[in-house]
Structure 1
């Protein structure tokens, strides 16, 4: 893959957001490629514990019916970066279609990338398809969060339409290593489903690494960090590609607090 050029995008249109982080001879991380089209805006590069931190903003006010938004993030060998969103993403009410969000993440040897967006908020009737596709190369480390919550701005209990979400992890050769996928129908799973009770917020954290000992330590750390959550679980991913935690909470504030503990726990295990 040529890091200096945008990807073939898996057959999709050119991504609206395309960022590549590279390591300078001094050891600092900088943005070697930055393309941000509507609806995205990229703030200035910040420093984050020796790496780079970027906050992505949206000028559209959220995701609307028939939106198809694609983001592509690359960390070149040795780069260390963290990408966040400025606020939660509202998925607005819809009458017929859906909104599609695609995120491609490609992290190379010795690089680290944290993709930590705020939750997506599903309004009544909203239908969202969310695909996060990760390429994990040897020696790379990646944190990926995906979080969703539902809300009726009218103060009622109207349900969202549907949520079709997947996180797929592949190696550098394109072989599928792990996939977490779920589909929720708002009419039957309102607000976001549950086992013993209804939960309004749903989130996950993948910590990807090919180091088996590191993955085992992360899984233990995630389990301890989430043990006080309303409903959560943590463990190892298949094909020795890392660890994973899934969290259900009664509200977004509780979800964010638990997820923050999980992220901190993982960071304490991973090398800086």
Structure 2
């Protein structure tokens, strides 16, 4: 039996000093033939670990030692790639967003990719418990010739527990700029009766999981038709998905009534888009 979700209140029920706040700041640069981490800053319960890689790429795994986030918690991630560097950023596990007593859980991510650099931003999914309130923003600044693969996914309720996200809030904001010019602006807002909203045909048609992938760079734009062919295969039968070009970005949207089906399809798709195996944490 689940506790009923609490609607938003004008004043939080818990004071700010009992909430968690922190984040991670990373800077990568090209050193010889390899990408190296140059600066690492950690605060609160957030950490970064760097698995050994055997190519020129650097990999970082973000860890929330608190095991999840609740209403009033705040996390900030800043990643900067210097010229010619190549990095993959992921998370140790799915991020759990617990039921709120009134305040929003806030996640703010800022990515900067300088000339000829390549970044793959591949966090695992955010799982919203019933009654969760998540406000999330992703801001990306690209150089004229840099490359990006960015992915964010969200599960509405704990499917394995038979939970439906009856009430809550999700505000998700994307802003991508190329050489200072805004090329992608996307906002999603679901408020109140989340399950009822997602049941509407024009919104989710009963979906319980969603994902967005964006990819910047000439090779990604050229792959759009191949990806559409892939999305039509049987492996994606339980997922509604589409791919298209927006400005100079490849954009892929995915929805599914089965959260695990979406994750399996997402893994297949990301391997195709990135051209490499996903970080090991995706399979553990």
Band of TM-score, shorter chain: 0.7 to 0.9
Of 207, 210, 221, which residue of structure 2 is paired with 1:202?
A: 210
DSSP-derived class of the 2:223 partner: helix
Alpha-carbon spacing, 1:257–1:49, altered in 2? closer, same or farther (3 Å) = farther
2:122–2:151 Cα contact (<8 Å) kept: yes
Secondary structure, aligned partner of 2:53:
strand
In the alignment, the residues of structure 1 paired with residue 139 and residue 106 of structure 2 have an alpha-carbon distance, to the nearest angstrom, of: 14
The residue aligned with 2:245 is: 236
What is the CA–CA distance in structure 1 between the aligned matches of 2:273 and 2:200, rounded to whole Å? 26
Match runs of 1:1-272 below 5 Å: 16-25=23-32, 27-47=33-53, 49-152=55-158, 155-173=162-180, 175-190=181-196, 192-193=198-199, 195=201, 197-209=205-217, 211=218, 214-228=219-233, 229=236, 230-238=239-247, 240=248, 242-268=249-275
Residue aligning to 1:4: none
Change (3 A) 1:156 1:115: closer
Higher RCO, Cα 8 Å, sep 6+: 2
- How does the TM-score come out when normalised to structure 2? 0.81
- Give CA-to-partner distance per residue, 1:26-80, whole Å, 9 cap, x none: x101100111112211113421643111111111121111112110011111111
- Distance in 1, matches of 2:243 and 2:176, equals 17
State how far apart, in whole Å, the 2-side matches of 1:79 and 1:208 are: 16
Question: 1:137 deviation in Å?
Answer: 0.6
Greater displacement, 223-232 / 16-25: 223-232
- Superposed displacement of residue 265, structure 1: 1.9
Q: Is the 8 A contact 1:146 1:204 kept in 2?
A: yes
How many aligned residue pairs are there? 249
User: Normalising by structure 1, what TM-score?
Assistant: 0.84
CA contact (8 A) 2:176 2:184 kept: yes
What is the distance in 2 between the residues matched to 1:188 and 1:41? 32
CA separation of 1:202 and 1:194: change in aligned 2, threshold 3 A: farther
1:114–1:142 CA contact under 8 A, matched in 2: yes
Q: 1:157 to 1:262 in 2, by over 3 A?
A: closer
Task: Could you tell me which runs of 5 or more consecutive residues in structure 2 were left unpaired when the two chains were aligned.
Answer: 1-20, 277-284
Structure-2 separation of matches of 1:167 and 1:193: 24
Over the aligned positions, Cα root-mean-square deviation in angstroms equals: 2.2
CA 1:18–1:38: 2 relative to 1, 3 Å: same
